[in-house]
């Protein structure tokens, strides 16, 4: 199973990624985890990424793409993977297409967790309070939601045109959302 997992901040992607990956026996690959591993390991890509992060800048696509390519080339990703946080741009979709073509593989699904924006804001405000994230104000959270919607809509459209999008209601109990995802994946054609 080769899956891209998308959804707005607070939709539960990280939680669901672990459960889905475990169920299918594939690695859950998050760009945040890849960055941290490369930075901690002081790899050439990690050193380069650290330069941008220290300056408060986005890590350029070329660096992110190289890290993802390296990660997908590892043996545990051979039978499949779940990508969380990648691709985020149309250029990254094209790069992922190239990576998969080089490996003679293709995506099975783009799972999109959907959620009511006001409920997500409430969920994230609660999490910010619990975890002491003072910088997660309602304005900041709403801005991140808007950025996600603007940046991700074109990706969902591309994957939709390919017949890969599976929209799943991401609200409710974790187990209920997980069951909805598994039901949708089990009903994939082929």
The yes-or-no answer on residue 69 being catalytic is no
Instruction: Say which of 36, 51, 127, 162 is annotated catalytic.
Output: 127
The yes-or-no answer on residue 144 being catalytic is yes
Peptide bond into 87 cis (omega under 30): yes
Instruction: Say which of 18, 69, 142, 144 is annotated catalytic.
Output: 144
The yes-or-no answer on residue 2 being catalytic is no
3-class secondary-structure state, position 6: strand
The yes-or-no answer on residue 142 being catalytic is no
Instruction: Say which of 18, 69, 133, 142 is annotated catalytic.
Output: 133
Q: Kind of pairing, strands 109-114 and 81-84?
A: unpaired
Backbone angles phi, psi at 174, to 5 degrees: -55, -50
Instruction: Say which of 2, 88, 123, 142 is annotated catalytic.
Output: 88
Instruction: Say which of 2, 13, 71, 180 is annotated catalytic.
Output: 13
Return the bridge partners of 5, or none.
84, 111
The yes-or-no answer on residue 180 being catalytic is no
Return the active site residues.
13, 88, 127, 133, 144
């Amino acid at each position: 199973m080769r899956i891209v997992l998308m959804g707005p901040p607070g939709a539960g992607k990280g939680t669901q990624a672990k459960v889905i990956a475990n169920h299918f026996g594939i690695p859950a690959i998050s760009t945040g985890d890849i960055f941290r591993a490369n930075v901690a390991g002081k790899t050439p890509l990690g050193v380069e990424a650290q330069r941008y992060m220290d300056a408060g800048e986005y890590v350029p696509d070329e660096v992110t793409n190289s890290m993802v390519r390296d990660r997908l080339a590892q043996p545990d990703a051979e039978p499949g993977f779940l990508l969380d946080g990648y691709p985020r741009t149309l250029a990254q979709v094209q790069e992922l297409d190239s990576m998969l073509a080089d490996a003679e593989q293709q995506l099975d699904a783009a799972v999109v967790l959907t959620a009511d924006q006001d409920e997500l804001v409430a969920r994230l405000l609660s999490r910010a309070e619990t975890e002491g994230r003072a910088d997660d104000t309602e304005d900041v959270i709403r801005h991140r939601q808007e950025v996600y919607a603007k940046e991700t809509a074109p990706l969902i459209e591309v994957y939709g045109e390919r017949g890969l999008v599976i929209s799943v209601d991401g609200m409710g109990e974790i187990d209920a959302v997980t069951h909805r995802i598994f039901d949708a994946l089990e009903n994939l054609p082929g």
